[in-house]
Structure 1
Amino acid sequence: MTKKKKPKKDSSQKKTYKGIVDVTRSGMAFVAVEGLTSDILVKQKNLNTALDGDEVLVDVIRQGRSMGRMEGHVTDVLIRKKTEFTGTIQLNKNFAFLVPEKGAFLPDIYIPENSLKDAKDGDKAVVKIVAWGEKTRKPVGEIIEILDATDTNDLAMKEILIECGFPLNYPEEVITELAAIKEKITAAEVKKRKDFRKILTFTIDPVDAKDFDDAISIRRLKSGLYEVGVHIADVSHYVLPATALDKEAEKRATSVYLPDRVLPMLPEKISNELCSLRPHEDKLTFSAVFQMNEQAEVKQFWLGRTVIHSAHRFTYEEVQDVIETGEGPYEQEVLLLNKMAQTMRAKRFSEGAINFSSQEVRFQLDATGKPIGVMIKESKEAHQLIEEFMLLANRTVAEYVSKQRVNRQPVPFPYRVHDTPDEEKMHVFAVFASKFGHKFDVNTPESIAKSFNSMLQLVQGKPEQHVLETLGIRTMAKAVYTTENIGHYGLGFMQYCHFTSPIRRYPDVLVHRILAQCLADEVKIDKLLEKRCKHSSDMERKAMEAERAGNKYKQVEYMQQFLGEEFEGVISGVAHFGFWVETVDAKCEGLVSLHNLPEEFKHSESEYALIGQQTGRKYRIGDKVKIRVVAANLAKRQLDYDLVDGGAADRSTQRRATDRSTQRGATRGKPKAKTGQARGRKPKTSRKKK
């Protein structure tokens, strides 16, 4: 009996995956594939025109030994993450090239003569890639905007936006659609809605705000209860699904806030005019209306489309003044709403929400955008008034939709979720907090929240407050959008969504549409909803990166005038190559490099510190130090500091201590010297958003 031969494996059958390209600083790329434990390595020559952030198909060309990393070749680019780039024009006789900024890992972009506009050799420009050469596989582009190189601030802010993937202008089809939108609110449209125009309604926003997307109404009912309405701009009335406007809003997903400008998600005609709830104008809104008593207990609620007429536009400062003095426009209503908000806030924290305080640093700018001062904004009761009613509306909408069913299944919905803290990070933080006398119960998520609130209350006004709050936030997961509802840990809510800012966030537009379908009992399942949620979360992170880069640019620009001067600071971060110090007054963060310290230091993650190898000296997050500003590089958006006390200015004393320590240690065996210290940049961190 002859044995059957085993069929040979067909090596020509390649595995193909879909994923997102991540290009590293070295130019090497990796494709992240959902479900794979390890990314697929792709060398530059195998990227096939794919750029950072693109969604691609990749064939595996090498499996990797002993379960090592797979290597692949990009076969197709499915979605371009970014199509606009900044650089310098290199002009030839009948064509030009855009030479991208360093580190873009992008070939020079060919620009034909008919797409040059009035560009001159050496101009800075924004170019949009419109095609890739079939044979050359090189990009072909057209000039979108020629940048004014003499206006360094404007140039820097625009480069930051482009760098983070946000286009500066809207496509022609969007502008065409925009012009066709009818501005007048018809009587027929008003009849479809609840009319709140005769009920006292007002907005409360920052002093420089132009897009007012929420308003509050209040009146006393015959029952003795109060009717409080949370009215949100009805963006979904004007921005219809699958239109050019909608596609562009989805692509951007969020407005971006830089120190001197806002790049709106929607064109200004919508964000600042049609949908902005400006005073003394009829406006279309989507509302959550509550019947409440003075103790802020909700007895009944209603959700639906409305029309309002705002009677007054408050700034936060004006409302805060009414709260503190008891005098001002509509003081009785403002004081009652504030009392309700503070009651809801106290109840929220008692039920498990975590009470992290926040400071917002903003620059005072002159007419040219140059920073001339720093303002630190803290959350006061006026801010909390709006926050609590917006939270109530968001939570109520999410709870309502979560109870709806289609074919006995929950309605797919873009929840805003926040996971429980990372167990390992939490244990490290608990050990650190214990050194300040704070005991953490890390057995359950509920006990962790209680421990946090206890600590945050006890550290108020103490030297360690800033460091414990900062590190506590870093233990937290990032809030994201998803159809998989796991609740919002930080807020202590089982159901939560974003309903209250559709002018500046695309998930809120999706929430409005799905809510409208539920109210009409006409739910249409969106099979791409989870993908839209993920994209919105990604773009939110990109917007935060842009905001951090813009703020960092202003920090560097502001500190340029103080080169050589000394400041009090607090250590705000540590790494193996040095530590960051944030100045106390201006909150400007710079790096103290290990190269400028008088001995070798080891990074201790558990202590959030650098520890001297010979003297045992520690530089720990939260420590107060004195620094000198030694470099302010605007191009790199980087500040460099020297340590004054115990650093470069005090090296002779430190060296003597080091020499004595080394001599004492000679008989015990010298520590091995490190071959070198790497200088790097601070890891990116995300600001917590609800």
Structure 2
Amino acid sequence: MGKKPHRKNNSKNKGGKQTDAAGLARRILQFLDAHYGEEFNSKQIIKKLEIRDALTKGGVEPVLSKLVEAGSVSRNPRNYYSSTQDPEFIEGIVDFVNPRFAFIVPLDPEKVDGDILVKEADMKQALDGDKVRVMVYPLKGKTGRVEGKVLEVVEKNRDEFVGRVEISPRFAFVVPDFKKMHKDIFVHRGELNGAQHGEKVVVKLTEWRDGDKNPTGEVIRVLGKAGEHEVEIHSIMAEFGLPFEYPEEPEKEAEGISEKITAKEIKKRKDFRDILTFTIDPADAKDFDDAISYRKLENGNHEIGVHIADVTHYVQPKTALEKEAYNRATSVYLVDRTIPMLPERLSNGLCSLRPHEDKLTFACVFEVDDEANVKKHWIGRTIIHSDRRYAYEEAQENIDTQSGDYYEELTLLNGMAKKIRQRRFKHGAVNFETVEVKFKLDEKGTPLGLMIKERKDIHKLIEEFMLLANKYVAEFVFNKNKGKDTFVYRTHDSPDMERLDTFSGFAKRFGHAF
């Protein structure tokens, strides 16, 4: 359905201003259009428009007659009036910006001129993020924006909220943390699940009847006393739907996986166990996903391998493990903890490239000359045995002081990385240098302060070889699937300002701000 032209009223006096009759006609049209399908007599219209002066009241009937003549309004034999304008019906997503109104972001932007403003009274109990069906008014409102009313909630975005319990003698409310949830949630005293006044809870909406000012819910999880570190972290996790624990079935599957690497499996892979290999990660890292191998070749060139933990060997298709990993999509890193995509036995054990252990990996291995030009490359499965686990600071110190374990190899790799980086920028790569922060925590995990992470050569070394591997893997997959549109892409939505506000607010709660 295309856009419909707005009605125009050309009744103007010589000064170019709308006459009182024209203004009244506009108000009546807006009212009737906003109540599409309903009929009103003149007295009801006067009452609805809150017209109080006698002169304007007397003008309502003549204006209605003129609108009927113009075909903008219809009149039935009982002298009830209704709009003749066919409204636009649009589907969109609710952006509930404040308690007074929301914007509906159209799913098809071509159907309407901008986002649709909907007043709170016309939201039909839709909440932020809901998919709704909206009736768009033919005339723009006083704000000059397209306006409308929600006819139907097509799909709910969420029905659980984190908030603080407030209990009175006869009833209780949960005040949501989510800034775009503008209604407190009524909870019957018997549905508090043991929550006490002032505690943080997770509440699930159970009912919101027409005419009720607030929705009704039940407490499904008590998080604890508001303000305590662990409670606030759990509040953030619950607010964004992050899981608190791993389900039993995939956990059992993970525990049942054998640690043994069979000779048959080793035969399927290139064996790098006798080649110098190490990992470089933050000092507080719990799992090690990638490793670098290095050796000097007889022809004078250098072999550099980028090895990634082979998770697919352990997480098989159509298993509970795969299903849970698919639902989680990625690991999530919070201030004081990691919420892993895989159970700890895999993420911190079998799939962690820990030193002095045989590990199964995927690799992209390069043969490069002294100027870091790639002469050959190979992509496939490998088995490695890491000789050393470095923290970034340790590896950087070895380069700076020209001493310590494998400092010569680290220095050579650093020089190679710099040449690759310089060549990337020469060919038009964008330098995405950003400032990263790190929280200083006490023994209980409470943030004490913020520190700026300094990016040194060792960080860039890892980054360059990862980028190089990504480039060659992408080319490999593209060439393998020429003529087909088969690939996995990582895509990013626009920044969620509400989540950024929440994160900033969390820092401010402990006396810090970004």
- 2:115 match: 39
Q: Deviations over 1:354-384 (max 9, x none)?
A: 4454433334222244554553321111111
- The CA deviation at 1:212 is 1.8
Pick one of 384, 392, 406 that aligns with 1:308.
384
1:30 match? 103
Using the TM superposition, give the Cα deviation of residue 220 of structure 1 relative to its aligned residue in structure 2, in angstroms.
2.7
Match of 1:75 in 2: 152
1:367/1:111 CA distance change after superposition, 3 Å:
farther
146, 149, 161: which one pairs with 2:226? 149
Match of 2:489 among 390, 395, 414: 414
1:19 aligns with 92
1:239 Cα shift? 4.8
Cα gap change, 1:58 to 1:269, in 2 (>3 Å): farther
Quick one: distance in 2 between partners of 1:73 and 1:283? 56
1:62-92 Cα deviation digits (max 9, x unpaired): 2444995141415234362x45422223569
What one-letter code is carried by the residue in structure 1 that aligns with 2:95? D
Structure 2 letter corresponding to 1:334: L
Would the aligned equivalents of 2:223 and 2:234 in 1 still touch at CA under 8 Å? no
8 Å CA contact 1:233, 1:284 repeated in 2:
yes
Contact 1:158-1:168 within 8 A present in 2 as well: no
Q: Which residue of 2 aligns with 1:292?
A: 368
Instruction: Tell me the distance in 1 between the aligned counterparts of 2:125 and 2:317.
Output: 31
TM-score when scaled to structure 1? 0.53
208-217 vs 544-553, greater mean Cα deviation: 544-553
Q: CA deviation at 1:316?
A: 0.3
Aligned to 1:59: 134
Provide closer, same or farther for how the CA distance between residues 399 and 202 of structure 1 changes in structure 2, counting only shifts above 3 A.
same
Asked whether the equivalents of residues 289 and 352 of structure 2 are also in contact (C-alpha less than 8 Å), the reply is yes
Kindly tell me: are residues 231 and 49 of structure 1, through their superposed partners in 2, closer, same or farther at Cα, counting changes over 3 Å? farther
Aligned length: 422
| 1: CA distance, partners of 2:471 / 2:426 | 17
Whole-Å separation in 2 of the counterparts to 1:242 and 1:132: 36
Answer yes or no: is the 8 Å Cα contact 2:99–2:120 preserved in 1: no
Q: CA deviation at 1:289?
A: 1.8
Which amino acid in 2 is paired with 1:149?
Answer: A
Q: Following superposition of structure 1 onto structure 2, how do residues 406-555 of structure 1 map, counting pairs within 5 Å?
A: 408-414=483-489, 481=491, 536-537=492-493, 547-554=503-510
Q: CA 1:61–1:203 in 2, change beyond 3 Å: closer, same or farther?
A: same
Q: 1:88 aligns with which of 161, 164, 169?
A: 164
- Choose which of 372, 378, 386 in structure 1 pairs with 2:462: 386
Would the alpha carbon gap of residues 411 and 378 (structure 1) be closer, same or farther in structure 2, given more than 3 Å must change? same
SS in 1 for 2:295: strand
> Quick one: distance in 1 between partners of 2:434 and 2:280?
19
Q: Which amino acid aligns with 2:242?
A: P
Q: Deviations over 1:321-368 (max 9, x none)?
A: 111111111222212211111111111222222445443333422224
Counterparts of residues 213-292 of structure 1 (less than 5 Å): 213-239=289-315, 253-292=329-368
2:199 equivalent in structure 1: 123
C-alpha spacing 1:401/1:326, structure 2 compared with 1 (3 Å): same
Q: TM-score normalized by structure 2? A: 0.69
SS of match in other structure, 2:98: coil
**Mapped contact 1:84–1:167 kept (Cα < 8 A):** no
| Counterpart-to-counterpart distance in 1, 2:153 and 2:268 | 48
Q: Name which of 217, 239, 258 aligns with 1:184.
A: 258
Query: Separation in 2 of the partners of 1:93 and 1:243?
Result: 50
Shift of 1:542: 7.0
Change (3 A) 1:313 1:97: same
Gaps of 5+ in 2: 1-73, 75-82
Which residue is equivalent to 2:415? 339
Are the counterparts in 2 of residues 99 and 109 from structure 1 also a CA contact under 8 Å?
Answer: no
Distance 2:166 2:320 in 1: 33
Q: 1:49 to 1:127 in 2, by over 3 A?
A: same
Bigger relative contact order, structure 1 or 2, given CA contacts below 8 A and separation 6+?
1
Q: Sort the Cα spacing of 1:88 and 1:373 in 2 relative to 1 into closer, same or farther, 3 A.
A: closer
Q: Distance in 2 between matches of 1:109 and 1:168?
A: 25
SS in 1 for 2:155: strand
8 Å Cα contact 1:89-1:120 kept in structure 2: yes
Q: Match of 1:25, as an amino acid?
A: N
Following the alignment from structure 1 to structure 2, what is the Cα–Cα distance between the partners of residues 74 and 190?
62
Matched residue type, 2:454 = E
Looking at structure 2, the residues matched to 370 and 198 of structure 1 have their Cα atoms a distance apart, in angstroms, of 43
User: Corresponding residue for 1:323?
Assistant: 399
- Counterpart CA distance in 1 for 2:151 and 2:324 is 27
Q: Tell me the SS of whatever aligns to 2:129.
A: coil
Seen in structure 2, the aligned counterparts of structure 1 residues 133 and 378 have a Cα distance that, compared at 3 Å, is same
User: Aligned in 2, Cα 1:390/1:59: closer, same or farther, shift over 3 Å?
Assistant: same
Give SS of 2:493's match: helix
CA distance in 2, matches of 1:236, 1:216: 20
1:202 aligns with 2:305: no
C-alpha deviations, 1:457-498, integer Å up to 9, x for none? xxxxxxxxxxxxxxxxxxxxxxxx2xxxxxxxxxxxxxxxxx
| Residues 258, 547 of structure 1: 8 Å contact kept | no
Q: Specify whether residues 358 and 59 from structure 1 end up closer, same or farther in structure 2 by C-alpha distance, changes over 3 A only.
A: closer
CA-CA distance at 1:225 after TM superposition: 2.6
Q: Does structure 1 conserve the Cα–Cα contact (< 8 Å) formed by 2:87 and 2:138?
A: no
Q: Quick check: which has more Rg, 1 or 2?
A: 2
CA contact 1:214–1:233 (8 Å) conserved in 2: yes
- 2:466 counterpart SS class: helix
State whether residues 405 and 411 of structure 1, in contact with CA within 8 Å, keep that contact through their aligned partners in structure 2. yes
Question: Residues 224 and 118 from structure 1, CA distance in 2 versus in 1: closer, same or farther, beyond 3 angstroms?
Answer: farther
Which residue identity is paired with 1:22? D
SS at match of 1:327: coil
Tell me the secondary structure at the aligned position of residue 24 of structure 1: strand
- C-alpha distance in structure 1 between counterparts of 2:268 and 2:470, whole Å: 23
**2:473 is equivalent to residue 397 of structure 1:** yes
Relative to structure 1, the CA distance from residue 549 to residue 74 in structure 2 (aligned partners, 3 Å threshold; closer, same or farther) is farther
3-state secondary structure, aligned to 2:114: coil
RMSD (Å), alpha carbons = 3.8
Unaligned 5+ runs, structure 1: 1-7, 416-480, 482-535, 559-587, 590-690
Q: Is the 8 A contact 2:162 2:201 kept in 1?
A: yes
Distance 1:225 1:87 in 2: 61
Q: Is the 8 A contact 1:204 1:313 kept in 2?
A: yes
Structure 1 pair 107–375 and aligned structure 2 pair: CA distance change class (3 A): closer
Q: Which residue of 2 aligns with 1:364?
A: 440
Inter-partner Cα distance in structure 1 for 2:313 and 2:189: 41
Instruction: Classify 1:291/1:13 alpha carbon distance in 2 versus 1 (closer, same or farther; 3 Å).
Output: farther
Instruction: Rate the CA distance shift 1:387–1:145 in 2: closer, same or farther, 3 A.
Output: farther
Distance (Å, rounded) in 2 between the aligned partners of 1:52 and 1:277 = 43
The equivalent position to 1:376 in structure 2, one of 429, 452, 469, is 452
**Distance in 1 (alpha carbons) for counterparts of 2:497 and 2:342:** 18
3-state SS in 2 of match to 1:376: strand
Percent identity, aligned pairs only, is: 41
Alpha-carbon shift at residue 12 of structure 1 (Å): 9.9
